[in-house]
Chain A
Amino acid sequence: MSSEEKIREFILENYLFTDDQSELNNDDSFLDQGILDSTGILEIIFFIEDEFGIKIKDDEMVPDNLDSVNRIVAFIKRKQQE
């Protein structure tokens, strides 16, 4: 399963609670669309760290890195290349 698929599945299962793939576009903003609740971002960070074996620093916890499927995929790629 690709990073994108893993992240999509995680979001659909844990925040949208559906199997309907059409409910999530890879560019949907988690914040603007209300996909995450106040602590949801922490759950995503735990998931990324566990699943992809990377450590996210405080200053990396910003919407530019984490606010959509595509942004997370790109962020993980960058981190894995570090």
Chain B
Amino acid sequence: MCGISGILNLGQAPAPSRSELEQMIHALQHRGPDGYGFFLDGPVGLAHARLSIIDLEGGDQPIHNEDCTVQVVFNGEIFNFLELREELQGRGHRFYTRSDTEVIVHLYEEYGDDFVLHLIGQFAIALWDARRQRLLLVRDRAGIRPLYYSIVQGRLYFASELKSLFTQPAVRRELDPVALGEVFTFWCPLEPHSLFRDVRALPPGQRMVVEGGNLSIDRYWDWTFPPGEIDDSRSVEDWAEELRELMIDAVRLRLRSDVPVGAYLSGGLDSSVITSLIHNFTDTALRTFSIGFEDDEFDESGFQQELVRYLDTDHTHVTCTREDIGRIFPKVIWHAESTILRTAPAPLMLLSRHVRESGYKVVLTGEGADEVFGGYDIFKEAKIRRFCHRDPDSELRPQILRRLYPYLKYSPASSGGAFGQQFFQQGMEYIDEPFFAHVPRWTTTRRSWKFFSPELKAAVSGKVDFESIRALLPPDINSWQPLNRDQYVENHTLLSGYLLNSQGDRMAMANSIEGRFPFLDHRVMEFAARIPPRYKIRVLNEKYLLKQSMAGLIPESIRQRNKQPYRAPDSQSFFQNGKAAEWVMDLLSESELRKAGHFNPVAVDKLLKKCATGRVIGFSDNMAFVGILSTMLLDKMFVQGYSSGTFT
């Protein structure tokens, strides 16, 4: 795992210089503290910050082919590099390192741009073909590793993080109002937007080619669910057996490393699956890490301890307090480089620090299982809402909604019959739309728009609404089964835009930790696309097939427990005894809000007062507060140029 950056001239701009590349890559030192590498050749410059994990001695990048005509810098891991290397050697390619990086240049020689189809991994790659004077940028299928670019003043700048791009004066630091409107609706900027006007993200599963001054982007992979590929003929037992074998292999490949590998343990099903597979099917010594909370509402320490005892692991537990979250939040935003609506990334940054301090650089996690195997409440909620829609006059059907959200202290399902039902009846007019499941979430999130300044409202008006998602959807999505449509939308919004990015990559890399995600192995995802949806959610039993495949491998209490999503205290983290931290008061003062221009100071002041009372119990107020605070931090640090240390 590492950071990459680079510059390519698209026309007559001056050639990239070593000092420009140094500025860019030094901004990514946290991603790669073990050394820098550079390549400069006429119109192109590549830079690399290394976190040494495989081939500690010989893996410095850039790495090249036999005659140095293909150069590559890359962030991530190619987990099947041993198999690929053997195959390539069989075809006559000569290797000068033991690194996974080197397979990329030889695969490119063999297969051209389709080399990426041979990779099992998580990666952001920049490859320079000197013969053809051509640059190729590629991002992994699920979007685990980030890659941003900006085309300004006749140059293409690219980097793993925006802060690297912002070292270049040509790249303007201006927040994009449309992207803000998107985050305050969908939880993330929609592909390919970033929060900043001049910067785009290369979306997951896509590659960019720049040749002869022309730039083109195509999608080489997508997670699709054509009904014809869903196999209805097999038994649950048959599917479960194949899944178990596939997961064992996905975990086995992700243990490949020349440094010790640990695992996160949340107490839920997903991380239990990963740790149990390591324990049962590999000879890796199991080292685990978990986070807990002082607040019972969020804490899962009991289940974590149960699994620790069951697997007898060497375990580190970190307790996160509300004060911890408030204290590190500015640093969280510095690394996330985005508005976020929940504080949940903060404890993960705290956890990755402990992993690093324990001498580990790599952890396996259960991220992705909910999206891939149907674990989220939003899927169950949509299933019930569709069931209710079939008989709108039924008084009994809506009663099932009460089974949702048992873990919430204050739940929409418990908030008085008629009022609770009203919440779930939102958006029934979208019943046939592929984003039907997401309408309640997006409606709740958009309530934050009432805090927008008149200027921001005007800038987003007519430019961001639920229809905005349509541009990202495949043309045949309406022919898919409902759960599969929900999964697709979830994958292209919450997973890639928020969970893998703000909460995943950035919170781990802030402390130079590499996360690895067996559930997001594309073979696992493609397998999941073939399963009949009824085996993912059996009645209202989420991740049913995954649970079946793990029978006997994890404690029954964990296998059968209701899912508790990972959450952290939100607005409460910034108040003590009814008073906000000083930096919060300063940042949300009328003068600062007016200077930034994004929010209405009168409305924000009332929200601040409401939060101070401790009466904020709903999602929408909490999301608005965290969203406004993070946007103001983003503005202060990235637009106005303050460091994250200013706020602590």
Q: Which of B418, B444, B450 contacts A38 (CB 8 A)?
A: B444
**Min CB gap B315→A, angstroms:** 36
**Min CB gap B618→A, angstroms:** 4
- Annotate A53-80 by CB proximity to B: 1 below 8 A, 0 otherwise: 0000010011100100000000000000
A43 to B609, CA, bound (A): 15
Q: Is B444 a contact partner of A37 (Cβ separation < 8 A)?
A: yes
Asked if B132 is at the interface of the complex by the 8 Å CB criterion, the answer is no
A62 to B421, CA, bound (A): 11
Report B-chain residues with C-beta under 8 Å of the C-beta of A45: 416
Asked if B95 is at the interface of the complex by the 8 Å CB criterion, the answer is no
Q: Is A19 a contact partner of B602 (Cβ separation < 8 A)?
A: yes
Q: Which of A13, A17, A34, A38 contacts B618 (CB 8 A)?
A: A38
Q: Is A42 a contact partner of B617 (Cβ separation < 8 A)?
A: yes
Q: Is A39 a contact partner of B617 (Cβ separation < 8 A)?
A: yes
Report B-chain residues with C-beta under 8 Å of the C-beta of A62: 416-418
Q: Which of B412, B600, B609 contacts A39 (CB 8 A)?
A: B412
Report B-chain residues with C-beta under 8 Å of the C-beta of A66: 416, 419
Name the CB-closest residue of B to A59: B417
Chain B CB count within 10 A is highest, among A14, A17, A62, for A17
* Residues 1-56 of A contacting B (Cβ, < 8 Å): 13-14, 16-19, 31, 34, 36-43, 45-46
Q: Is A14 a contact partner of B606 (Cβ separation < 8 A)?
A: yes
Report A-chain residues with C-beta under 8 Å of the C-beta of B415: 38-39, 41-42
Name the CB-closest residue of B to A46: B615
Q: Is A13 a contact partner of B447 (Cβ separation < 8 A)?
A: no
Q: Is B602 a contact partner of A18 (Cβ separation < 8 A)?
A: yes
Q: Contacts A38-B618, A39-B619, A42-B410 given; indicate if A63 touches B419 (C-beta within 8 A).
A: yes
Q: List 28 A-B contacts (CB under 8 A).
A: A13-B606, A13-B609, A14-B610, A14-B615, A16-B450, A17-B450, A17-B606, A17-B607, A18-B603, A34-B443, A37-B444, A38-B420, A38-B444, A38-B619, A38-B620, A39-B411, A39-B619, A40-B618, A41-B419, A42-B617, A43-B617, A46-B615, A61-B416, A61-B418, A62-B417, A62-B418, A63-B418, A63-B419
Binding site for A on B (CB under 8 A): 410-412, 415-420, 422-423, 443-444, 447, 450-451, 600, 602-604, 606-607, 609-610, 615, 617-621
The 5 closest A-B CB pairs, nearest first, are A38-B412, A61-B416, A39-B618, A17-B603, A37-B620
